[in-house]
Structure 1
Amino acid sequence: MPGADDETVPLTVRDGDDRIELAVEPGRTLRDALLDAGLSPYAAATRRLNCDGRGLCATCGVRIREGPPPEHWHDRLADRFGYPRLSCQVTVDGPMSVELVDKLVWGSREQPDGEE
């Protein structure tokens, strides 16, 4: 389809050792883009029990390696303290790189270099 690449932005997803390249329509939430591609930001226990992207349950966290700064209040706190950011509160407007988090329910905090 001519011009199709002009209407999408690249999204790189790391899922364990796998690296998946997606083309996403700008303006989509990261959560919806992941789910549409068959990738889940949820743990097994929360795939069915979640708030459907309203930013209330905090179970759709992913690590954003390259992408927009946090805007949602919960997303800002998560980023500040090293927790995964809510994929339902991130809009894909430009190239992004994210990592799916291995978790039971919520993702764990990343320790700054040198901390244990």
Structure 2
Amino acid sequence: MPTVSFRGREIDCEAGATLREVLLDAEETPHNGRSRLLNCRGHGSCGTCAVVVDGSILEPTRRERLRLSFPPHDADSGLRLACQTLVLGDVVVEKFDGFWGQDVDDSARSDPADD
């Protein structure tokens, strides 16, 4: 059974579960501020559930790649849409600031080997 690590919590889920649903079922949210109310409810069109995921997940869907390719997102940011991400094994999830979670702090994610 995969474990999702999010905001200091360990959440167990079934393999193949959608990350957004795992978080919501655990009374967590992949949304910031008002986007908790103003979102597409998992259809992959708004982009407000963008998170960074490290671990075993399915490759991005066409819909997800399309949404993350236009502002305020950047296709090279490493973000994933929680509503389109299927959890296959243990993952660590991080949510950044901004309405869409788009404010990825590059210094926090930089590789020390690059310095």
Q: TM-score range, shorter-chain basis?
A: 0.7 to 0.9
SS of the equivalent of 2:3 reads strand
SS of the equivalent of 2:21 reads helix
**Alpha-carbon deviation of 1:69?**
5.3
Q: Percent identity over the alignment?
A: 30
1:12 is aligned to 5
1:102 is aligned to 97
Question: Per the alignment, do residues 93 and 107 of structure 1 end up closer, same or farther by CA in structure 2, a change over 3 Å counting?
Answer: same
Question: Per the alignment, do residues 102 and 67 of structure 1 end up closer, same or farther by CA in structure 2, a change over 3 Å counting?
Answer: farther
Question: Per the alignment, do residues 72 and 86 of structure 1 end up closer, same or farther by CA in structure 2, a change over 3 Å counting?
Answer: same
Unmatched runs of 5 consecutive residues or more in structure 2? none
TM-score with structure 1 setting the length: 0.73
Larger radius of gyration: 1
1:59 is aligned to 48
Q: Say whether 1:68 aligns with 2:57.
A: yes
**Alpha-carbon deviation of 1:105?**
3.4
Deviates further, 101-110 or 52-61: 101-110
Question: Per the alignment, do residues 68 and 80 of structure 1 end up closer, same or farther by CA in structure 2, a change over 3 Å counting?
Answer: farther
1:91 is aligned to 86
Unmatched runs of 5 consecutive residues or more in structure 1? 1-7
TM-score with structure 2 setting the length: 0.74
1:34 is aligned to 23
CA contact (8 A) 1:84 1:108 kept: no
Q: How many residues matched?
A: 104
CA contact (8 A) 2:50 2:100 kept: no
1:50 is aligned to 39
